[in-house]
Structure 1
């Protein structure tokens, strides 16, 4: 059943992406035609946002193709990345989706009946796709472990934590630029606040639901606990700890403040081991005699 839901989710996602390309074809055509003039007339940020959106659509299409062309563990890894990209994007944009298709939105009310039907159908299809992805989990997922129970573990290297930061920023930037335009934020301090909010929501969603961000998926790392259970509340505390000044640069000298203050760690998946296994109760009893 889960396998069927996986295929249904990926097929529905491919239909949605094809629909998005067809719907935006004229816009993309105009965009590429005027690409050279965009930065000249002060539209650089919009150009960056559109370019990154196109790249993510292309990435989805490549991953969809790889999913159907592969089997076994490789297919599961591709599915895991597809699922992550869709669900995190879905939740980051859902507030705008709710607003955009309410009766009070003037832009939506200007649509023809056919356009309204297509838009509402697209929204419902996205919701259905999200439900399918949430239900059909990949075979390999980071385990909810407590490192206090293991003697050996391979912590993620400083170089890979830098990779996490770069890839996460690559994902966050187009989301930030989108909300910047939607909310029409131009004040410097409000822009910083908006970026910080997007960053924190991204980190919380990723680590609470998947125990990984995009960067951690790329390096096969995950968030684990060093004591209490890694609940959503603990992840929230870990996320808020990122507000510590200069926390994002703390990995450069292995301080990792948001880890240490919340008793969490970032480690490579399946590298935790027990050196001394729990002894068999029967063997213990026999020895005592």
Structure 2
């Protein structure tokens, strides 16, 4: 077995347009989750007579709404990318978050990546020349096409087996 380590090739990075689609879809999913939670809390709050909760939800201001959106965004990305290496949008578009070796980043890296998303205009930062957003570069992560990555890693490991003598048991 070879001791070589796969290093991600920049040609696997997805385009800025693909990243923008992921951004839009994920924001729709986050808003849908907030709506579903609000409907759930509103229904059970009314059912259980928790009028204070229902009144608070009906009077949420812009600042509170923005804070809730930021919290949901951090939780959404940390949970989905932390557990699966991809958000719902990335699952739909066939992309995945990886480290420089093409592997799923650890939970701490994903949390850092998620926290970096609250930087103003981060959601548009991947439209630059490198195709990587600030939350990518600050957390040393990459968004790539999953099928292309799987094929590239497979070829890499097969290539490294050339010349390696098989041991018969």
Q: Could you give the per-residue CA deviations for residues 223-251 of structure 1, whole angstroms, max 9, x where no partner exists?
A: 00026971111111111111222101112
* Cα distance in structure 1, aligned partners of 2:163 and 2:116: 41
Aligned to 2:84: 210
* Cα distance in structure 2, aligned partners of 1:262 and 1:188: 30
Q: Which runs of 4+ in 1 moved over 2 A?
A: 150-153, 177-183, 272-282
Between structures 1 and 2, the one with greater helix share:
1
CA contact (8 A) 1:151 1:275 kept: no
Gaps of 5+ in 1: 1-147, 283-289
Work out which structure has the larger RCO, using CA pairs closer than 8 Å and 6 or more positions apart in sequence.
Answer: 2
* Cα distance in structure 1, aligned partners of 2:25 and 2:148: 23
* Cα distance in structure 1, aligned partners of 2:22 and 2:119: 18
Instruction: Report the TM-score when normalising by structure 1.
Output: 0.42
Q: Could you give the per-residue CA deviations for residues 238-277 of structure 1, whole angstroms, max 9, x where no partner exists?
A: 1111122210111222341000011100000132323994
Aligned to 1:235: 110
1:113-152 matches, within 5 Å, as 149-150=6-7, 152=9
Instruction: Report the TM-score when normalising by structure 2.
Output: 0.68
1:118-267 matches, within 5 Å, as 149-150=6-7, 152=9, 153-180=11-38, 182=41, 184=57, 186-226=60-100, 230-253=105-128, 254-267=131-144
* Cα distance in structure 2, aligned partners of 1:234 and 1:151: 17
- Name which one, 1 or 2, has greater alpha-carbon Rg: 1
| RMSD of Structure 2 on Structure 1 (CA) | 2.6
Q: Could you give the per-residue CA deviations for residues 81-109 of structure 1, whole angstroms, max 9, x where no partner exists?
A: xxxxxxxxxxxxxxxxxxxxxxxxxxxxx
CA contact (8 A) 1:216 1:222 kept: yes
Q: Could you give the per-residue CA deviations for residues 205-238 of structure 1, whole angstroms, max 9, x where no partner exists?
A: 1101111111111211100002697111111111
